Amino acid sequence: MQPARTGGRALTGDTGTDAIEQPIDGILDLHTFRAADVGTLIPDYLEACRARGILQVRIIHGKGTGALCRGVHALLRRLPCVVCFRLAGPEAGGWGATLVWLQPAAGQGNPSPAGGTNRGGSQTEAGRDRGP
C-alpha cells in the first residue's frame, strides 16, 4: 500500500500487517514504514508540511548501515521543494536524522535554513556537508 493522505491530517504507511498513521508535525520517523514506501512517503509528507506552513522538517532514518540515509539524501536532492538539508546535530539525532528546509508554499514567507546541503549536494554558506 502506498502512503496516502487520510483526512488531511496524516499519512499512512503499511508495515505489511497494519497501517500506521503519521501526524503532520515536522518529524517523520521512518522506522515505522517499509523501505519500499519511502520514495512516495517523503515527498507526500514534505508537501503536507509545506501546506501547513512547516518549513523545517526532521526525518529520522536511523543510523544502521547508512543505506537509508543515503537513499533519503538522494531523494531530497531531486525534490524541487527542498531548499537544503543536513544531518542533525547530536541534540536532534546526529547522523541518524536529517534536517530539511523547504520552500514555502505559494503565499508563505521564506524558510531560514541554518546551513545544510543544497539539492545539488554542495555546501551552503553556513552549512556543513556531512552527508554522502
Share of the chain above pLDDT 70, in %: 67
CA–CA distance, 36 with 33 (Å, rounded to integer): 8
Q: Is residue 65 part of a domain?
A: yes
CA–CA distance, 64 with 17 (Å, rounded to integer): 23
Residue 65 structural domain: 4-118
CA–CA distance, 123 with 132 (Å, rounded to integer): 12
21-72: pLDDT as tens digits: 779 999 999 998 988 999 999 999 999 999 999 999 999 999 999 999 999 9
The radius of gyration of the chain's CA atoms, rounded to the nearest angstrom, is 14
The more confident residue out of 113 and 19 is: 19
Q: Which three cell numbers stand for residue 74?
A: 538522494
Q: Which residues contact 90 (CB under 8 A, 6 or more apart)?
A: none
Residues 61, 2, 19, CA angle at the centre, nearest 5°?
75
Q: Output the domain CATH number for residue 109.
A: 3.30.1370.110
| pLDDT greater than 50 at residue 2 | no
Number of separate domains in the chain: 1
Q: Is residue 108 part of a domain?
A: yes
Identify the helix (H) or strand (E) that includes residue 38: helix 38-51
Q: Is residue 92 part of a domain?
A: yes
